[in-house]
């Protein structure tokens, strides 16, 4: 079992590191996480639920936390309302993506990823309500080459907007992951910031 040590790091970095590492292992495999951030217990429980992963074990030992997570197949919703909302969001995001495919000049060149769909939606709401930033990006489904399960990304036409929004969200404790470059080979390399 792979082990990730996030001791000494604070929200949202532990979740970002856990998310990236969990995406590198197959469904059903487990990841052991060490953390000492006091918010980690609540954060990891909510994150595991939101992403469809299983928090199998959580304990405190020697002044830090140890969590064991099993990689799941992605969030699908627990009740009928959750499922309908989730499917509706997916339909909306894929519809937007298909519209953009028809108009290539407007197609995003940079994609900002998050640790969960819920975190991306929370960031979108905050940007629109608090910062009045609603014309710099577009919500899209995460490409399967970045993450094979459902998810969302912010799509940007230019690099400067992508970096500015990434930094703004990170400074305000949103769990952003990376900015990916949209390339013709669909490899989506990470932009070095």
Token pair in block for residue 159: 């690099």
Which pairing describes strands 30-35 and 2-5: parallel, antiparallel, or unpaired?
parallel
Instruction: Clarify whether 11 is annotated catalytic.
Output: yes
Q: Output the CA–CA distances (angstroms, integers) from residue 122 to 11, 17, 19, 125, 159, in the order listed.
A: 15, 19, 17, 5, 22
Out of 11, 39, 46, 100, the active site residue is: 11
Token pair in block for residue 42: 């609540």
Q: Which parts of 69-113 fold into alpha helices (H)?
A: 80-102
DSSP conformational letter for 133: -
Token pair in block for residue 139: 């919500």
Token pair in block for residue 119: 């975190």
Residue 93: which region, alpha, beta or left (left: phi > 0; alpha: psi -120 to 50)? alpha
Long-range CB contact pairs, 52-55, < 8 A, 24+: 52/76, 52/149, 53/22
Alpha carbon distance, N-terminus to C-terminus of the chain: 30
Which residues are catalytic, by number? 11
């Amino acid at each position: 079992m792979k082990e990730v040590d996030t001791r000494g790091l604070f929200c949202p970095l532990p979740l970002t590191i856990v998310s990236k590492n969990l995406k590198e292992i197959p469904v059903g495999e487990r990841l052991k996480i060490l953390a000492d951030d006091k918010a980690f217990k609540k954060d990891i429980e909510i994150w595991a639920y939101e992403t469809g992963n299983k928090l199998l074990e959580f304990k405190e030992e020697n002044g830090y936390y140890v969590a064991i997570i099993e990689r799941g197949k992605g969030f699908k919703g627990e009740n009928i309302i959750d499922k309908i909302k989730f499917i509706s969001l997916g339909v909306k995001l894929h519809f937007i993506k298909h519209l953009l495919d028809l108009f290539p000049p407007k197609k995003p060149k940079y994609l900002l990823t998050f640790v969960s769909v819920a975190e991306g939606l929370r960031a979108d709401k905050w940007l629109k309500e608090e910062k009045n930033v609603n014309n710099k990006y577009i919500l899209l489904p995460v490409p399967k080459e970045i993450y094979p399960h459902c998810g969302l990304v912010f799509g940007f036409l230019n690099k400067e907007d992508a970096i500015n929004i990434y930094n703004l969200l990170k400074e305000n404790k949103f769990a952003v992951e990376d900015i990916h470059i949209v390339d013709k080979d669909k490899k989506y390399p990470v932009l070095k910031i």
